[in-house]
Amino acid sequence: MNDRRRVNGPPGGTRPPVYASLLQSGTGADIRAQRQRQPTDLRKIFLKTGLIPSASGSSYLEFEPSASLAAARSNPKSLIPPSSALKLACTVHGPKPLPRSAPFSPNLVLTTHVKYAPFAARKRKGHVRDSSERDLGVHLETALRGAIIAERWPKSGLDITVTILEAEDDRWWGDVPDSHDASWGMMNVLAGCISAASAAIADAHIDCLDLVSGGVAALVSDDSTDSSSALPKLMLDTDPAEHRSIVSACVVAYMPARDEITELWLKGDSSKVSTADGDERSGHEALIDGAVDAARGAHTVLAEAVRESLQKALGQS
Amino acid sequence: MASASTAATAAPNSLSLPPSQFARLQPHAYLLAHLSPPSSSNQPSIRANGRAPSQFRVTSANAGSLTHTNGSAVVRLGDTTAVCGVRAEILHTDDIASWSVSQSTNANKRRRIGETEKESETADEEDRAHIEDLNLLVPNISLSTGCAPGFIPSAPPSALAQSLSHQILSLLHTTRLVQAEDLRIWYQPPNLGPEEAQQHNDEEQMDLDAGANEEETKPAEIKAFWVLYIDIMLISLAGNPFDAAWASVLAALRDTKLPKAWWDVDNESILCSDDVNESQKLSLRGLPISSSFCVFEADAAAGWRAVVIPDAEEQKAQDSKHGSQKWILADPDGYEEGLVQERVHFVVDKEEGKTVIVKMEKHGGWTVDSEDLRQLVDISAQRMVAGLVVPVACLPALVTLSPRHTGTSSESHIDHEPLHQPMTELG
Amino acid sequence: MSNQRQASSASQTPHLSPAELSYLYTSLSLPKSPIRPDGRSPTQFRPLTAESNILPGTNGSARIGFADGTQAIVGVKAEVEKTVLSTDTLASGEGGESTAATSGHGSWVQMSIEIPGFRDDDALPVFLSEMMRESLVGAVVEGGDGGGDVMMAGGLKGRLVINKRWHWRLYIDVLLLSQPLSYPLPLLSLTTHLALLSTKLPKLKSQGEEDPFFDDDWEVAEYLYPRGSKLKATSGLASQYVRPPVTLLVVSVGENVIFDPSREEIAVADAVLAISVTRDTEAGNLKLLSIRTIDPPSRLTQPAVPNSENVNMLGATAPTEDIAVLNPATGEEEVPGVWRPRRGGVKRSVIANMIKTVLKKGGVGEEVLEGLEGVEVE
């Protein structure tokens, strides 16, 4: 059905461009994006609050581009980007009175919306939220609700909107989806959404137990030669474009002050993991701990951004 | 109420309201007080946001920072931020239902006209037909991003969003900014096989000279078009969304690179080259700049009353003396937009050193007369000359900036926190 | 907005008074031996009736009814579809095609969930179907050795591959027949599991890369999830066969881990997890596939007022009665017997404990899988 409220493209539909170089087999092996960071190194995060004055709270978050993407930017050769770096904006509106039709609530009612810009991913997204975006919205809501002290705002609502301007890839663009394939990029997006929303909520001066931050860890088998025998390794803050095969991944929303997890999303087969000697943790425990460590890293950035916005606010008044 | 307004204008001693609250309670009086300072103070009239009436907000732009686009730009017009991404996709002529029909009629038309001076006109007409009838430009603006409290996120496009999308579409069409030739993907069928060509030559050799062989090559045909999906996300809205959106479209289109594409006979599809050096920038026609104004009236109802009550002539005379004062405010912010009815809107371009009005729109009132309009055109044109519209003037410089500062941040100093703390814990 | 609210939290918060909530919480959090309102043990499931192959028009179907009257029906339909080589697969040429052909694609499994009172794009159905689909297509068997069936290499996705150019597309339609009384996940997941177990695909008669054609004799059709003969199954070798995953709803109250919670029990839970498990064909034990936290509705409940703060009770109580003590499970200061909505998240140790209870040998996960295996498939 045609959407009459938008400008529609050609009725017959269009096709994304097909690059000739992709049709030759074996290309790209040499230009494959490789992780340059140590397994426990995190990407840098750019986070700034209060950029959208019409909202009660807002934040903008950006991940550092991977080494390959940075190289491609400074010295462009191919039109196919090697990987992408998360960019998103988050706004918070409220607390505001609930509509008259809404039932009484003794607590702050949270609504979350996550929407990809049509140009955010390698494949063009539609204008209407699809199921993955709705799914992300539910995850984000769970993550935030645990952190907000909701009973301080009875009969009020809080709208949180995240617009994703650039998402993360699910795998390296040249790879075919393999048996482990899933939407891994979505997990990085969720971690970014959690940290950004947390900053925006703090910017809106909503009481929270702690700044909740998101972190991702994954079990990765990068060995192309002999993937069956080598055990997958634990990596923090994985960019799926930099890995051959992600076996399982986990994202947490974590509050360091209370050492508590408000949101946990783990998927994939975490039964096998190569751990250090004497490490008795099973795969999923290692994965959760890794994600918590990544979230701790994001928390330092978050705290710094919030402190800065507070200083700015104090300086103004 | 009365006390508040008098307090602000006349007796600052009794003023007990901080300005921010006065601005909320009595927005009209607040702005009026700013614009008409007491004559004794000798101050120029200034807007509540500190700008002179004809002053535009500072515009900044950054292009090419989004990875998955063919061209992108972030434009900040004061606190209004628009992000525009252009994605190019391919429309095969096989997928166009009416393609073969329209092609043959066009060819006929061309043959009939034949004359050289009319040729360009037909080509123009064809360009227009291709872009408009085939929907090769697809602009959509999204306001459901939480950019302002009024818009419900994830709701279908509001009336404002729909109207903005269509304004941008019609402006793209009327300015003919994008040239249809850039969007066509041609295919030159190879010459006839040598044997066939031989046959032809044998038959026609007697009355045709050697040049016939060249004429024999098949005409190039259009195999596909590029369709440009122009999506604008308004991240932050503080008045004047159209100027910001249009500037972002303009900057993104200037940044847009289309890969070299050709028809591949073996695969029966269009293939593209991913080589940056082979890709081509769009060649845009002109540089139409949009400027919006709004008209703030001291007594908003004065004009209406004059008509409704015809016998109030005395009052009218009084009005003309001091009452019906008006200010034309350039580039209104969200606060001002809420207080005005009448808006004027120009899109101007330069053509061979002359200012051309591409679009003019005025609605909502009747205080602006032709003299005012002429002045406004001048202001808009000056804006272009002075290069106030940074997106265009400074683009090349901004593109080379680090892509880190996309988005919304104008300052860049805090950037990345070193993440060493968790590392030690991991050890 | 109200719809949004009830959709996102674990279920509609039941209208329980703070006193009732407090009573429930106290009895469920009794150390070691929680007392559940219906007298079950912590790991005991509610009685249910199950049957499979109830819909003749489907490839496989099942119905499960809980004793409280909620019922779910699942139908599985399979269609043959041409494998479209996307640009991704074109990308790596020949080599790429073959990997795509053996590994299959997650989008070949489509799942729709219908719950009365919810639109199909509401948060709850979307969340549930994503959760169940994710573990279904995510279950991957490593290699064909170790007793695992060759046909199931690559998990369900791999099983759907017919040859390089054709595959099966699976439509799983889940229908809840009544308004959910509790979080419907366990019911839907068990029913889906049963339906998939009973799903048969017609026997392939063509070979290799030909266009597929099938034997029209339903008697010789093959199970989607291959099963051993009855004899083998009873002799304990059933664990060698790949089984569809099952998603369990687990809540923690205090230090206790409780399975298959009723609506009232979810209402006071500190944490709610959906844990998907399946059988590991190599090791013979259970394997974790996915975990998702679910927003516990206890965060939305109404707080109680301790007597010391209640104006109506001024002077009626001795001040010593209302001394706040630290609840070890939540880390919050609480007055015993006075309900406070939950805040914050879950401790890692609690999560680890919940997972362990599901996965351990002879634990709840195995019990459930065996129970479902026992449902007679005609």
Tell me whether the omega of the peptide bond preceding residue A95 falls within 30 degrees of 0, making it cis: yes
The pLDDT score that the predictor gives to residue C365 is 85
Question: What part of A 16-75 touches C (C-beta under 8 Å)?
Answer: 16, 18, 22-26, 28
Output the 3-class SS for chain A. CCCCCCCCCCCCCCECCCEHHHHCCCCCCCCCCCCCCCCCCCCCEEEEECCCCCCCEEEEEEECCCHHHHHHHHCCCECCCCCCCCEEEEEEEEEEECCCCCCCCCCCEEEEEEEECCCCCCCCCCCCCCHHHHHHHHHHHHHHHCCECHHHCCCEEEEEEEEEEECCCCCCCCCCCCCCCCCCHHHHHHHHHHHHHHHHHHHCCCCECCCCEEEEEEEECCCCCCCCCCCCEEEECCCHHHCCCEEEEEEEEEECCCCEEEEEEEEECCCCCCCCCCCCCCHHHHHHHHHHHHHHHHHHHHHHHHHHHHHHHHHHC
Q: Tokens representing B377?
A: 């055109």
pLDDT digits (tens, 9 = 90+) for C37-79: 888 888 888 888 999 889 989 999 999 998 888 899 999 999 9
Which has the higher per-residue pLDDT, B254 or B422?
B254
- In chain B, what residues touch A77 (CB-CB under 8 Å)? 275-276
Tell me if C299 and A146 make a contact (CB, 8 A cut-off). Answer: yes
pLDDT bracket for residue C6 (50, 70, 90):
very low
- Whether chain B has a CB inside 8 Å of the CB on A53: the answer is yes
3 state DSSP class of B297: strand
| Cβ–Cβ < 8 Å for B5, B11 | no
What is d(CA B269, CA A278) in angstroms, rounded to the nearest whole number? 57
Interface test with A, best of C16, C94, C299 (most A CBs within 10 A): C299
Q: Which burial class, exposed, middle or buried, applies to B16 when counting CB atoms under 10 A from its CB (0-12, 13-18, 19+)?
A: exposed
Please tell me the distance from the alpha carbon of residue A243 to that of residue A219, in angstroms, as a whole number.
Answer: 10
> Is a pLDDT exceeding 70 seen at residue B305?
no
Contact criterion met (CB < 8 Å) for A107 and C299: yes
Distance from chain centroid for Cα B244: 7
Specify the higher pLDDT residue, C179 or B393.
Answer: C179
A111 CB within 8 Å of a chain C CB = yes
Q: How many CB atoms lie within 10 A of CB B343?
A: 18
- Give the pLDDT score at C81: 86
Nearest to C288 among A102, A134, A270 (CB): A270
- Given a contact cutoff of 8 angstroms between Cβ atoms, the answer to whether C271 and C296 are in contact is yes
Residues of A in contact with B19 (CB under 8 A): none
State the smallest CA–CA distance between residue A63 and chain B in angstroms. 9
Q: CB–CB of C292 and A253 under 8 A?
A: no
- State whether A263 and C293 contact (CB < 8 Å): yes
* Contact: A54, B236; criterion CB under 8 Å: yes
Sign of the C-alpha dihedral, residues A257, A261, A263, A266?
positive
Q: Of B236, B233, B237, which Cα lies nearest the Cα of B252?
A: B233
Q: Which of A42, A54, A115 sits opposite B237 (nearest CB)?
A: A54
In the predicted model, what is the mean pLDDT of chain A? 86
**CA–CA separation, C263 vs C276, rounded Å?**
20
Contacts of A26 in chain C (CB under 8 A): 92-93, 95
* Summary mean pLDDT of chain B: 75
* CB of A37 less than 8 A from some CB of B: no
Strand, helix or coil for residue B148: coil
Expressed in angstroms, the distance from the first to the final Cα of chain A is 53
Q: Is the pLDDT of residue C233 over 60?
A: no
Q: Does A20 or A275 have the greater pLDDT score?
A: A20
Q: Is the pLDDT of residue B276 over 50?
A: yes
Quick: pLDDT tens for A139-168.
999 999 999 998 889 899 999 999 999 998
Phi and psi angles of residue A255, each rounded to the nearest 5 degrees, phi first: -115, 105
Q: Which amino acid belongs to residue A44?
A: K
Residue C133: pLDDT band with limits 50, 70, 90: confident
3-state secondary structure of B86: strand
Considering only CB atoms, C348 lies closest to which of A24, A178, A261, namely: A261
Helix (H), strand (E), coil (C) string for C42-80: CCCCCCEEEEECCCCCCCEEEEEEECCCCEEEEEEEEEE
Lowest mean pLDDT among A70-79, A187-196, C57-66: A70-79
Predicted complex ipTM? 0.90
Best to test chain B binding among A18, A45, A52 (most B CBs inside 10 Å): A52
Residue C320: the pLDDT is 53
Q: What is the pLDDT of residue C254?
A: 85
Chain C CB within 8 Å of residue A138 CB: yes
H or E segment to which residue C131 belongs: helix C123-138
The pTM of the full predicted model, rounded to 2 decimals, is 0.86
Q: What domains appear along chain C, each with residue ranges and CATH number? A: 9-44+245-378 (no CATH), 48-226 (3.30.230.70)
Tell me how close the Cα of B159 comes to any Cα of chain A, in angstroms. 9
What mean pLDDT is reported for chain C? 78
Percent of residues, chain A, with pLDDT higher than 70 = 91
- Whether residue C1 and residue A137 make contact (CB cut-off 8 A), yes or no, is no
DSSP H or E stretch at residue B328: strand B326-330
List the single residue in B156, B236, B419 with the smallest CB-CB distance to A42: B419
Higher pLDDT, B322 or B60: B60
Residues B82-119: tens digit of each pLDDT:
999 999 999 998 888 877 776 665 555 555 444 555 66
Best CA proximity match to B331, nearest among B249, B392, B243: B243
| High-pLDDT (> 70) share of chain B, % | 70
* Residue B47 or B205, more confident: B47
- Pairwise CB contact (< 8 Å): C121 & A103: no
d(CA A290, CA A216): 8
Distance separating alpha carbons of residues C310 and A193, to the nearest angstrom: 40
Residue A107, chain C, CB below 8 Å: the answer is yes
Residue from A80, A179, A258 whose CB has the most chain C CBs within 10 Å, to mutate: A179
Nearest to C2 among A102, A180, A289 (CB): A102
State the smallest CA–CA distance between residue A267 and chain B in angstroms.
23
The per-residue pLDDT for range A38-59, each reduced to its tens digit, is: 888 999 999 999 889 889 999 9
Judge: B145–A89 Cβ closer than 8 Å, yes or no: yes
CA atoms of B293 and B288, how far apart (whole Å): 16
**Residue type at A21 in one-letter notation:** S
Chain A stretch 247-306, residues whose beta carbon is closer than 8 A to a beta carbon of chain C: 253-255, 258-271, 283-285, 288-289, 292
Q: Contact, C199 vs C83, CB < 8 A? A: no
Tokens in use for B335? Answer: 């606060």
So what's the pLDDT on residue A33? 76
Query: What is the spatial distance between Cα B166 and Cα B172, in angstroms, rounded to a whole number?
Result: 10
Return the number of CB contacts < 8 Å for A and C. Answer: 194
Place of tokens 């066969």: C241
From B123-127, B287-291, B302-306, B380-384, the region with the lowest mean pLDDT: B302-306
β-pairing, B137-142 with B221-236? parallel
List all chains that touch chain A, counting a touch as 3 or more CB pairs closer than 8 Å.
B, C
Q: Among partner residues A142, A175, A259, which is closest to C347 by beta-carbon distance?
A: A259
Closest CB from B87, B169, B269 relative to A7:
B169
Domains, in order of start, for chain A: 40-316 (3.30.230.70)
Q: How many angstroms separate the CA atoms of B157 and B43, rounded? A: 44
What is the phi/psi pair of residue B18, to 5°?
-65, 150
Smallest CA–CA distance, residue A316 to chain C, in Å, is 32
Judged against a pLDDT cut of 70, whether residue B200 lies above it is answered with no
Cα→Cα distances B142→A131, A190, B136, B154, Å: 19, 22, 19, 10
Place of tokens 């839907």: C188
* Euclidean distance between CA atoms C112 and C115, whole angstroms: 10
pLDDT band at B14 (very low <50, low <70, confident <90, very high): low
pLDDT of residue B127: 82
Neighbouring chains of C at 3+ CB pairs under 8 Å are: A
Is the pLDDT at C322 greater than 50, yes or no? yes
A contacts of B407 (beta carbons < 8 Å) = 51, 60, 62, 87, 89, 165
Our CA-based measurement puts residue B409 at a distance from the nearest CA of chain A, in whole angstroms, of 7
Q: Is A231 an 8 Å CB contact of chain C? A: no
C1 exposure class (CB count in 10 Å sphere: 0-12, 13-18, 19+): middle
- Name the token pair of B201: 């030559």
Query: Following DSSP, what letter does each residue of C312-361 receive, concatenated?
Result: GGTTTS-GGGG--EEETTTTEEE-TT------S-EEHHHHHHHHHHHHST
Q: Do C303 and A18 touch (CB under 8 A)?
A: no
Task: Return the pLDDT at C130.
Answer: 87
Cβ distance B417 to A44 less than 8 Å, yes or no, reads yes
Q: Which residues of A touch B171 (CB under 8 A)?
A: none
| Residue C191 pLDDT class (50, 70, 90 cuts) | very high
CA distances from residue B235 to A86, A238, B208, B276 in whole angstroms, order as listed = 16, 28, 66, 30
Q: Which residues of B touch A68 (CB under 8 A)?
A: none
In which region does residue A205 sit, left (phi positive, over 0), alpha (psi from -120 to 50) or beta (all else)? left
Average pLDDT for residues C325-353, to the nearest whole number? 79
Rounded to an integer, the average pLDDT of C92-108 is: 54
